[in-house]
């Protein structure tokens, strides 16, 4: 059963009015203020997979930063002004030629929101949460990625106070790319581990 049905224009969830009602009541009773609610909205809007891509691209180019990222994720994010205020730990796990990491939260949908923002719908789905731990390779196949048999797949179930992100391997043929161009190759799916970064655009042939 799918966890979420896309809302059509004409079908509004009954919970839409409910949360508006809750908001109105909380503001009227001074339990919350308008600026606090706005801050809550801005906080999430400011966070996205682009932050993760930046961390990865910087790590690919700078070994010291990479060491920091792998030993103290929050310090690395703070160094790039990402303000990861959430109390949970942020741990980055590295893919290598013999290891591929996959992140899941079977119990709910824990995700490094303080860095990456909201998780995608599929990450929160019952299908992903139930299957990623049991058949990670089949799940990755659905995202178009197949790790070779000689690569170990490590699944991390975020069951407690740690949030995980993957540091994917740098694609080959990217020696000439700068940090921004590298960051563009790092997809959200690669940061969760269901896939790997994009390959660089093939160079335009001289005679084209």
Partner 1 sequence: MGGSPGGPIDTKGHEVEDWERLADAISSALGARGLYSTDEHRRAIESLKNYRDLSYYERWVAATEILLVEKGVLTGDEIGERTAEIELRWGGP
Partner 2 sequence: MTYRPGDRVRILSSKKPGHVRTPGYLKGKSGWIEAMIGPFPSPEDLAYGLSGLPERTLYKVGFKQADLWEDYQGPAEDILYADVYEHWLQPGEGGTA
Kindly state the greatest CA–CA separation across the chain: 70
Residue 172 appears among annotated catalytic residues:
no
> Would you count residue 120 as binding partner 1 (CB under 8 A)?
yes
136: contact with partner 2 by CB under 8 A: yes
Q: Which is nearer to partner 2, 150 or 178 (CB)?
A: 150
Structure tokens at 127: 């299908």
146 binds partner 1 (CB under 8 A): no
Query: Is 105 designated active site?
Result: yes
Catalytic residue check, 71: no
| 157 contributes a contact to partner 2 by CB under 8 A | yes
Q: Assign residue 117 a region (left: φ > 0; alpha: ψ between -120 and 50; beta: otherwise).
A: left
Residue 163 contact among partner 2, partner 1, none, beta carbon within 5 to 8 Å by kind? none
Give how far Cα 12 sits from Cα of 19, 119, 122, 175, Å.
13, 22, 21, 49
CB of 129 to partner 1, least distance (A): 5
Spatial CB neighbours of 63, under 8 Å, sequence gap ≥ 6: none
Which distant-in-sequence residues (6+ apart) come within 8 Å of 18 by Cβ? Answer: none
Which residue in 67, 71, 96, 130 binds partner 1 (CB under 8 A)? Answer: 130
Is 13 catalytic? The answer is no
Residue number, 32 or 133, with CB nearest to partner 2: 133
Assign residue 101 a region: left if phi > 0, alpha if psi is -120 to 50, beta otherwise? beta
Q: Which of residues 74-93 bind partner 2 (CB under 8 A)?
A: 89
Among 154, 184, 195, 200, binds partner 2 (CB under 8 A): 154
Which spans of this chain sit near partner 2 (rule: CB under 8 A)? 89, 106-107, 133-138, 149-150, 152-162
């Amino acid at each position: 059963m799918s966890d979420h049905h896309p809302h059509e224009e004409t079908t509004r969830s009954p919970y839409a009015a409910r949360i508006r009602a809750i908001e109105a009541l909380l503001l009227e009773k001074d339990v919350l203020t308008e600026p606090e609610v706005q801050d809550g909205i801005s906080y999430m809007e400011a966070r996205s997979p682009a932050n993760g891509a930046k961390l990865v691209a910087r790590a690919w180019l700078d070994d010291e930063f990479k060491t920091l990222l792998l030993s103290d994720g929050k310090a690395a994010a703070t160094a790039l002004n990402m303000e990861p205020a959430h109390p949970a730990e942020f741990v980055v796990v590295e893919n290598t030629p013999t290891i591929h990491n996959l992140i899941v939260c079977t119990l709910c949908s824990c995700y490094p929101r303080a860095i990456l923002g909201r998780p995608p719908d599929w990450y929160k789905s019952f299908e992903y949460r139930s299957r990623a731990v049991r058949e990670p390779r089949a799940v990755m196949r659905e995202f178009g990625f197949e790790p070779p048999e000689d690569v170990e797949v490590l699944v991390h179930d975020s069951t407690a106070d740690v949030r995980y992100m993957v540091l994917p391997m740098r694609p080959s043929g990217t020696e000439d790319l700068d940090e921004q161009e590298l960051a563009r190759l790092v997809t959200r799916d690669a940061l969760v581990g269901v896939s790997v970064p994009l390959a660089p655009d093939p160079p335009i042939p001289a005679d084209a």
